[in-house]
Amino acid sequence: MPEIKVTPLGAGQDVGRSCILVSIGGKNIMLDCGMHMGYNDDRRFPDFSYVTQNGRLTDFLDCVIISHFHLDHCGALPYMSEMVGYDGPIYMTHPTKAICPILLEDFRKITVDKKGETNFFTSQMIKDCMKKVVPLNLHQTVQVDDELEIKAYYAGHVLGAAMVYIKVGSESVVYTGDYNMTPDRHLGAAWIDKCRPDILISESTYATTIRDSKRCRERDFLKKVHESIERGGKVLIPVFALGRAQELCILLETFWERMNLKAPIYFSTGMTEKANHYYKLFITWTNQKIRKTFVQRNMFEFKHIKAFDRSYADNPGPMVVFATPGMLHAGQSLQIFKKWAGNEKNMVIMPGYCVQGTIGHKILNGQRKLEMEGRATLDVKLQVEYMSFSAHADAKGIMQLIRMAEPRNMLLVHGEAAKMEFLKGKIEQEFSIDCYMPANGETVTVKTNPSVPVDMSVNLLKREMALGGPLPDPKKPRSMHGTLIMKESSLKLVSSEQALKELGLNEHQLRFTCRVPLQDPHSDSETLHRIYTHLKSLLKGYTIQHLPDGTVMVESIVIKVSSSAEDANAKILLLSWSYQDEDLGSFLSSVLKKGLPKM
């Protein structure tokens, strides 16, 4: 039985370092190659020694597919390709290919230059790695080799995020990466057609959450910013450079436009400008509104949002500043925060989750006095707001995607085990399909039932057509007689005569004979006649003949009667049929075994 094997190297019952190995139809595919944000040791990267103890991965992998540019999905890529060694194709969408190296370079800088790690990949390695990348377009079917083909679907989440459909022969797997089923200000919703894959590998970050309407949150956010600006306060929004930051920019930009506001909005860090540039370029990957209006004006060419300079933080009057990083743990956002924290007119809006221990986490929990380095304390007087803008599908969204794709099996990754358990139960209950949630290194094997295409000879087909049924209906199975010839990995269905001819064999007749004892007081010929009339009344629509040579023919089945010597009443019926008429023959024998009806 053919099977598909899925082994998560990372992201199995966990969030971070997504890396999933899939063996399908003899092909090995690696889906995503990410790093784990929480670790600084070897656990940071997936354990590639699972694939091969030593030596390069090229021989073991047919291709690598990266779903989007977040580091937990692509962070280990240069390590894998350059340091472990992989020369095969790496597939990703155009925006991912463009933005991925920026993030990798940033990541490298932080680890090597700031933390002083050695034995890390270099800029050159990132470049070399990106040379191996083959870009994908949405809905474009790419033939990796003769049998393996992949196709990307839109996934929302971040610019260029894609879901991939992988197909070998008639077996297929869909990997969602991260996706979002509700559209936001700059991206659309994920979409897939009814591709009915054997396995759907889905993320499940929000497996147990059903989220509130996006509009409420947006409105709240805008209202708060607006109120603060009207009071003359300054608003700090700590963000990570890509993804949510752009969404918030668009949100504020359009709001400023609509409401005719004049207060300046600033965006810090140079990296963002580079990224914004790519957002401008990849308009086709954004949502309906931006796609439709970009001819008049590209929404990412911000009118109100300007680059930030450190000196601006002291400017009087209201302003909004987006600054990195997002958790207020270091860098520019922290500097600005320190400057503004003393004024109660100001406001800080945390647009995402904050890790424990960061200043962001502290102030969100209501701490009003912060201890800074050097024993100085900081009074936090400004308002602290929390707005969650997350771009993962919630439980409902995941179910919606399952309904869209109609998979035969379901596999959950990229989420916490306990939450997955719940969703797994729900999926099994609602769709009655199997659902798996392997841990890292655990292999899931799914048996598939692939259909094997067979060439059929035209003669046989025509003959079958002539037999019955007005139309061939591909949805209904139909049984037919023929001979299957397997020759040099090609399958052919031909009529038996043709098969004999091709193979140069003689035809052998196979006949079954059967003796049925019968108690009948009549003479042989009379018994035969009674059998004849009995069958005639029983089998309507069959040709039944009473031949003069003392036999009854039902189609091609011959029935004879002979009486035994000792008892004239005990008759022996002889039935003989060819194997083609096996059904009818065995039916007749069972009928005759019951005896003839009494006259």
Partner 1 sequence: MAAHLKKRVYEEFSKVVQIPHEEAPAKKLRLSKPSKSAALHVDLCKATNSTDALQYLLQFARKPVEAESVEGVIRILLEHYYKENDNSVRLKIASLLGLLSKTRGFSPDCIFDDAINTLSNENSHQVLAQLLGTLLVIGTQLPESPAVRLRLTEVACKHLSDTHFGVRNKCLQLLGGLGVADAPLLKDGEGSSSSSGAVREVQTIISDYFADQDPRVRTAALKAMLQLHERGMKIHQIIYEQACRLLSDDYEQVRSAAVQMVWVLSQLYPESIVPIPSSNEEIRLVDDAFGKISHMVSDGSWTVRVQAAKTLGSMLQVSPHFLEQTLDKKLMSDLRRKRTAHERAKELFASGEFSSGRKWADDAPKEKLDTNTVSLIASGACGAFVHGLEDEMFEVRIAAVEALCQLACSSPSFAEKCLDFLVDMFNDEIEEVRLQSIHVLREISTHITLREDQLDTVLAVLEDSSRDIREALHELLCYTNVSTKECIQLALLELLKNLNKYPTDRNSVWKCLKFLGSRHPTLVLPLVPELLSTHPYFDTPEPDMDDPAYIAVLVLVFNAAKSCPTMPALFSDHTFRHYAYLRDSLSHLVPPLRLPGRKQVYSLDSVDSDAGSGSVESAQLFLQQSLHRVSTIQNLETPGGQDLLDFTIRDLQRLGELQTELAGAADFCATYLRCQLLLMKALQEKLWNTAVPLCLKQNVTATAAAQQIVEETYKLEFLYSGLENRQVATIHHVRLQAKALQLILTARTRQGLDPLVSSEKFLQEVESFQRQFLPELPHLQDSFAEKLLELMPRLSSCKPVELVKILQATLRQSGVPQLRLPERIHRATATIIEPTGESDNPLRFTTGLVLALDIDATLEHVQNPQNTVKVQVLYPDGQSHVIHPKPADFRNPGPDRHRLITQVYLSHSAWTEPSQIEVRLLLAYSSASSSPSKSMTGWSDSFDGPPPPEPAVEGTIPFSKAVKVYIMPKPARR
Binding site for partner 1 (CB under 8 A): 182-183, 185, 188-189, 191-194, 208-220, 222-224, 226, 254, 257-260, 287-289, 350, 364-366, 383-387, 395-396, 399-400, 403-404, 419, 422-423, 425-426, 430, 470-471, 473-475
How many whole angstroms separate alpha carbon 73 and alpha carbon 163?
13
Cβ proximity to partner 1: between 184 and 581 the closer is 184
How many whole angstroms separate alpha carbon 164 and alpha carbon 22?
13
Task: Please state, as a whole number, how many other Cβ atoms lie within 10 Å of the Cβ of residue 432.
Answer: 7
- Smallest distance from the beta carbon of 454 to partner 1, in angstroms? 20
- Smallest distance from the beta carbon of 206 to partner 1, in angstroms? 9
- Smallest distance from the beta carbon of 404 to partner 1, in angstroms? 5
Cβ proximity to partner 1: between 287 and 483 the closer is 287
How many whole angstroms separate alpha carbon 301 and alpha carbon 306?
10
And the tokens for 31? 């889906």
User: At 552, is the secondary structure helix, strand, or coil?
Assistant: strand
How many whole angstroms separate alpha carbon 133 and alpha carbon 129?
7
Given a contact cutoff of 8 angstroms between Cβ atoms, the answer to whether 222 and 255 are in contact is yes
How many whole angstroms separate alpha carbon 462 and alpha carbon 217?
65
Helices (H), 23-91: 71-74, 77-78
User: From the centroid of its chain, how far is CA 69?
Assistant: 17
- Smallest distance from the beta carbon of 472 to partner 1, in angstroms? 9
Cβ proximity to partner 1: between 388 and 445 the closer is 388
And the tokens for 462? 């025509």
How many whole angstroms separate alpha carbon 179 and alpha carbon 191?
9
Cβ proximity to partner 1: between 73 and 186 the closer is 186
203: annotated active-site residue: yes
Query: Which of 96, 275, 79 has its CA nearest to residue 178?
Result: 96
Cβ proximity to partner 1: between 210 and 484 the closer is 210
- Smallest distance from the beta carbon of 12 to partner 1, in angstroms? 20
Per annotation, catalytic residue among 105, 117, 149, 203: 203
Cβ proximity to partner 1: between 259 and 503 the closer is 259
How many whole angstroms separate alpha carbon 492 and alpha carbon 485?
5
Task: Please state, as a whole number, how many other Cβ atoms lie within 10 Å of the Cβ of residue 426.
Answer: 16
- Smallest distance from the beta carbon of 30 to partner 1, in angstroms? 29
| Catalytic residue ranges | 203
